[in-house]
Amino acid sequence: MRLMVSGGGTGGHIYPALAVINELKRQDPDAEVLYVGSHRGIESTIVPKQGIAFEAMTIQGFKRSLSLENFKTVYLFLKAVHEAKKLVRQFKPDVVLGTGGYVSGAVLYAAAKLHVPTVIHEQNSVVGMTNKFLSRYVDKIAINFEAARSQFPENKVVMTGNPRAQEVANIESHFSLTTLGLKDDVPTVLVVGGSQGALKLNQVMVESLTTLAKRPYQVVFVTGPKRYDSVMAKVAATEESDNISIQSYISNMPEVLPKMAGVVGRSGATTLAELTALGVPSILIPSPYVTADHQTKNAQSLVKANAALMIRESDLTATTLTAAIDQLMTDDNTRAAMAAAAKKLGKPHAATEMLALLKSVSAK
């Protein structure tokens, strides 16, 4: 199989694509893959490190306000479509997969116009601008949340889940909490505001540490690399506790998550795919700074299934946070029920299902 993949800008677009590529390579070691991303996106760093052939294009997104910069955006898009057509003709893919981001708009549009089979994957419950545009041209649309179905042409939609879930579900974790200065036999909650941390969550956690230090469970608090020093400066005066570990960053999160009894964090699509694949109950604090408030809608799908609690950032205080953590961590029955509900939502075979979809589309 010859697979061309395009997706970029955020890890939420890149990691599902990599999961599909890894599953393809597992099933067919001789498969040829070409990943097309943007020069400025993090995919230009992440993808080549995986040993995957990578081509970069210059492209940018539209400004939501009236701006002369949008004329440049249109020019760059048309130029990228022209470049993408060249790449498609040279690589001759059996099928092209788009996982979101501006660059995938140009690549999938070009492939569709050349009558090459195309599939897009929408990770969120609210459809992104690029995938909404592409939905008119592609052959099939894979979704992760049922809420996205009605936003696409019904006859094109296939529920696959997020391919990232399969990679996480299959990880054999040998991680020990002792590496973080904690005990392996005490229920532990992980508090993390995304890879860069979250300012308000960090502030509220600093206010909550004295209370949390008296609890019978353990807490791993991840601040984000850029915020670690300021957090530690604020907690320097607080009394040290043997049930709290403060970290700047955790690089091996898929190995750490299975050891957690609960997680407090954002509700991006990749995070939720990981939590549901592993059956980890959570307290979700959706980021209010994302397009169309899609993280709130993502979180609501878990809350509705009794797999998570949710606190809006506007309602986040030391009181509401510690109350929610206590609710999750001090009642074993509640936690077990939420874990089972989360597991039911998980898609542990999502990458395999996505690959089957790609093969079926390419065969037509």
Per the annotation, binding residues for UDP-N-acetyl-alpha-D-glucosamine are 10-12, 124, 195, 250, 295
Q: How far apart are the C-alpha atoms of 332 and 282, rounded to whole Å?
A: 14
Contact yes or no for 228/253 (Cβ under 8 A):
no
Residue 32 tokens, joined: 């040829």
Q: List the strands of the sheet with 218-222, edge to edge.
A: 244-247, 218-222, 188-192, 262-265, 282-284, 308-310
- Could you tell me which residues are annotated as the binding site? 10-12, 124, 195, 250, 295
* Alpha-carbon distances of 356 from 100, 154, 278, 348, 364, rounded to whole Å: 20, 19, 23, 14, 13
Q: How far apart are the C-alpha atoms of 166 and 353, rounded to whole Å?
A: 10
Residue 53 tokens, joined: 């052939």
Contact yes or no for 160/144 (Cβ under 8 A):
yes
CB neighbour class for 255 (10 Å; exposed up to 12, middle 13-18, buried from 19):
middle
* DSSP state at residue 146: G
